[in-house]
Amino acid sequence: MITVFNCIVGKHNLALVFVAVLVCLFGSAVALRLLRRAVPAAGAQRLGWRFLAAVAGGGGVWATHFVAMLAYEPPAPTSIDPALTILSLVISMAGLFASFLVSGIRASEAFPALGGAMAGLSFSAMHYTGMMAYRVIGLVEWQLDYVVASILLPVACSAVSVALIGQRYVGTRRFWAAVTLLVSGIVSLHFTAMTAFRVTPMAQSFPQIDARAVVALGLAIAVVALIILGMGLASYLIDTNVRADSEQRLRHMASHDPLTGLPNRASLGEFLASSFREARDRNEKFSVICMDLNRFKEINDTLGHSAGDDALRILARRMTQSLEGGEFMARLGGDEFAAVKRIGDRSEVAAFADRLAGVFNRPVRVGSTEAQVKASIGTAIWPDDAKDVDELLNNADLAMNHAKHACLDTVCFYDAGIGASERKRRKLAEALRQALELEHLDLHYQVQKSLTSGAIHGYEALLRWNHPQFGTIPPSEFIPVAEENGLITPLGAWVLRRACQDAAAWEPPYRVAVNVSAIQLMDANLPRLFHQVLMETGLPPHRLELELTETALIRDKAGSLHIMRQIKALGIGVSLDDFGSGYSSLETLRSFPFDKIKLDRAFVEGIEHDRQSRAIVRAVLALGKCLEIPVLAEGIETEDQMAVLRAEGCDEGQGYLLGRPAPVADLAREGGPIRKGDREPQQASAQRSKA
Ligand code: C2E
Ligand code: MG
Ligand code: MG
């Protein structure tokens, strides 16, 4: 074997053999890389990658062959047939393309090996066609056993090589094993085939062939093949770059908010985790500041969502510009932002928060209007306020929520008291959500009577929530919670439906008044809900009244007026609740078409002995008379209060003296309405008790 090897290698120029092996290695690596790239691709891309692999691989093998032939030092003069040379290139590329197509068939695991074996065959076909192009002036003999070996060796090596690449993405080690096998197959093909090739030189009388022409042709072939290889490699590199770019873009998209370009919640998590590790290792502190824009929904609702987006973009840009070295800012979603800063003491957090708050002092220009957007800001510090990153973020959020409820316009620092009250609020919100789902809520009704005749005019529906754990929770506590987290919409709908159902069954048919929150009034679907509920329950519209507070109206005057008009157009009455408790009551009365004024109970409270209260009540009653709007006095608790109100000419009243809020079933006992279906049994029982 060694003798054979020495004999064959001995007939070659070793430097050129080395070049041939290098070309072979390069060609095989590029071809298999392109083939590997085809594995995850689909459709035309998959075909394209296989084609490029075949062009590069075929060109590489072909160049190897010709450089090796240049290295071969024949004992006789030689020449090269150009047509057959080109044919051998076509065979190499076309054969490899067919092989790679077969290797990609997904029907069975055997196809890659089969394709690889075909590649080996096409290498042999290329080699022997190339040999036919190699014209030697002498007697040529072929040794059959070496010829057979020269076919079997590349077939076996290529089959295993392509099978290693397979139909899944392979790692570096497996890839280079495949390259080594392919190179071995090609090199062994050349050397065994050249061993099979024996030349006996003829007489010296034959004309000498110009060896320089052969070398020039060979070099030209090698250059062409290298260009082909280069193209294959370049396309691979371009693709890799494009992929790297798009991966980077995807990574950016995954870690940044598309609207403002700020890092998103996931990035904040990563930044917090690294800040935490650094602060712990260096024994430092860091703070998280949470910010939530106040009444941002109103901008969206009144100016439109694209104006809201503009405002967010502008504010995010301003905040980013206000950042200094080492400070980090992210958008958590909606109108929520968070910032992180490594600090020495609390004053640094306060200064940072003030700098951020300064951004909200300037109005934001959206479209043709200028909007003043403020933010509630809360902060928590590690390690003072939290053990870990999650707790820190949560506590900063609790502090921010506290700032929002307490309407603070400075940053709120987290402390245990704030944490406890905010956690209770969150629990309450969760419990309320459940209570609504499980219908654990109830309605009580409080009578509204004529102060002159004592006749019942109607009832106000008041929501009641008796929680098994927290006990009775007053509406003044849970309604604001429901307003904060959007629960007020389903809650309000539930109240309306239930009140209308109850009232529809009342005998006599008294009116029912339902309280509507400010948040509900911002919903353009509210009139449709009223209409739908009236249709469902069969309650005539004139028997329904809605009670609005001033705060509900002044947030968005034009929008509220529009919704209110639509509701009134259905035939439903609208009364102004808690009149006098707001700050521009007279203006509200002028702008909105109310059917009734409900005078706040604060004015009734001291009316018997307080001259000022009495004067105010008198003025309101006079105002009602002038505007021809009846006035109902709320919170009448004593006979004296009622006597004064009567003397002043008040039309209607409501209060504990006239009747406390009570469940619907108890109303009949106080002389109120009975449910239609209940009349017979009640009359029967009355007759039974008489008997
Ligand atoms: P409001 O609409 O002004 O309702 C009258 C409140 O005054 C009721 O308190 C009632 O129990 C209380 N009240 C009635 N007479 C007297 C009295 O003589 N003295 C005193 N001290 N209080 C009296 P409640 O039920 O606690 O409701 C408080 C507020 O919660 C209501 O004020 C209303 O603004 C809101 N609310 C109640 N139910 C609902 C509801 O279903 N939806 C909405 N959005 N708000 C509701
Ligand atoms: Mg009310
Ligand atoms: Mg009221």
The per-residue pLDDT for 558 is: 83
Cβ of 75 less than 6 Å from ligand 1: no
Cβ of 446 less than 6 Å from ligand 1: yes
Taking the C-alpha atoms of residue 543 and residue 493, their distance in angstroms, rounded to an integer, is: 17
Mean pLDDT of 474-502: 94
Ligand with smallest separation from the Cα of 552: 1
Cβ of 490 less than 6 Å from ligand 1: no
Among the listed residues 477, 482, 479, the one whose alpha carbon sits nearest the alpha carbon of residue 429: 482
Cβ of 472 less than 6 Å from ligand 1: no
Ligand with smallest separation from the Cα of 446: 1
Mean pLDDT of 106-127: 91
User: Can you state the angle between helices 211-255 and 14-38, rounded to 10 degrees?
Assistant: 30
Ligand 1 center–CA 462 separation, angstroms: 6
Ligand 2 center–CA 597 separation, angstroms: 11
Return the structure tokens found at 612.
């000022």
Mean pLDDT of 380-396: 95
Ligand 1 center–CA 274 separation, angstroms: 51
Checking DSSP bridges between strand 511-515 and strand 596-599, what pairing results, if any? unpaired
The per-residue pLDDT for 369 is: 82
Cβ of 512 less than 6 Å from ligand 1: no
Taking the C-alpha atoms of residue 175 and residue 157, their distance in angstroms, rounded to an integer, is: 14
Share of the chain above pLDDT 70, in %: 91
* Whether the predicted pLDDT of 8 surpasses 60: no
Let me know if 529 is exposed, middle or buried by CB neighbors in 10 A (0-12, 13-18, 19+): middle
Cβ of 397 less than 6 Å from ligand 1: no
Mean pLDDT of 87-104: 92
The per-residue pLDDT for 5 is: 44
Which has more confidence, 588 or 58?
A: 58
* Whether the predicted pLDDT of 685 surpasses 80: no
Cβ–Cβ under 8 Å, residues 429 and 487 = yes
Options 3.40.140.10, 3.30.70.270, 3.90.1150.10, 1.20.1250.20; CATH for 265-414 is 3.30.70.270
The per-residue pLDDT for 125 is: 94
CB-side neighbour CA atoms (13 Å) of 422? 21
Query: In the chain, where are the structural domains located?
Result: 2-202+210-241, 265-414, 440-682
Given the CA of residue 495, which atom of ligand 1 is nearest to it? 41
User: Which of these ranges, 123-132, 255-264, 360-369, 376-385, has the smallest mean pLDDT?
Assistant: 360-369
Name the pLDDT band for 207 (thresholds 50, 70, 90): low
Mean pLDDT of 97-121: 90
DSSP secondary structure, 37-87, as one string: HHTT--HHHHHHHHHHHHHHHHHHHHHHHHHHHHHB--SS-EEE-HHHHHH
* Whether the predicted pLDDT of 159 surpasses 70: yes
Mean pLDDT of 501-526: 93
Taking the C-alpha atoms of residue 73 and residue 85, their distance in angstroms, rounded to an integer, is: 19
Name the pLDDT band for 678 (thresholds 50, 70, 90): low
Ligand 1 center–CA 445 separation, angstroms: 10
Cβ–Cβ under 8 Å, residues 526 and 520 = yes
Name the pLDDT band for 299 (thresholds 50, 70, 90): confident
Which has more confidence, 425 or 239?
A: 425
* Whether the predicted pLDDT of 554 surpasses 50: yes
Ligand with smallest separation from the Cα of 661: 1
Beta bridge partners of 341: 287
Helix, strand or coil, per DSSP, at residue 590? helix
User: Which of these ranges, 90-94, 164-168, 456-460, 560-564, has the smallest mean pLDDT?
Assistant: 164-168
Cβ–Cβ under 8 Å, residues 379 and 338 = no
User: Which of these ranges, 188-202, 244-258, 487-501, has the smallest mean pLDDT?
Assistant: 188-202
Name the pLDDT band for 279 (thresholds 50, 70, 90): very high
DSSP state of 263: B
Ligand with smallest separation from the Cα of 464: 1
Cβ–Cβ under 8 Å, residues 33 and 166 = no
Helix, strand or coil, per DSSP, at residue 341? strand
DSSP state of 668: G
Given the CA of residue 446, which atom of ligand 1 is nearest to it? 14
What CATH code is assigned to 440-682?
Answer: 3.20.20.450
Name the pLDDT band for 259 (thresholds 50, 70, 90): very high
383: preceding bond cis by omega (within 30 degrees) = yes
The per-residue pLDDT for 202 is: 66
Among the listed residues 193, 190, 221, 198, the one whose alpha carbon sits nearest the alpha carbon of residue 74: 198
Cβ of 653 less than 6 Å from ligand 1: no
Ligand 1: residue whose CA is nearest its atom 34: 515
Name the pLDDT band for 245 (thresholds 50, 70, 90): confident
Name the pLDDT band for 1 (thresholds 50, 70, 90): very low
The per-residue pLDDT for 11 is: 64
Ligand 2 center–CA 476 separation, angstroms: 12
Max avg pLDDT among 187-191, 257-261, 297-301: 257-261
* Whether the predicted pLDDT of 269 surpasses 90: yes
State pLDDT tens for residues 426-474. 899 999 999 999 888 999 999 999 999 999 999 999 999 998 888 899 9
The per-residue pLDDT for 154 is: 94
DSSP state of 256: B
* Whether the predicted pLDDT of 538 surpasses 70: yes
* Whether the predicted pLDDT of 3 surpasses 90: no
* Whether the predicted pLDDT of 80 surpasses 80: no
Mean pLDDT of 44-65: 87
The CA distances from residue 231 to 35, 37, 52, 227, 243, in Å, are 15, 15, 9, 6, 18
Query: Which residue out of 445, 449, 462, 483 has the highest number of ligand 1 atoms within 8 Å of its CB and is therefore the one to mutate?
Result: 462
Ligand 1 center–CA 553 separation, angstroms: 18
Cβ of 661 less than 6 Å from ligand 1: yes
The per-residue pLDDT for 85 is: 85
* Whether the predicted pLDDT of 687 surpasses 60: no
Secondary structure string (H, E, C) spanning 73-117: CCCCCEEECHHHHHHHHHHHHHHHHHHHHHHCCCCCCCHHHHHHH
Polymer length in residues for the chain: 691
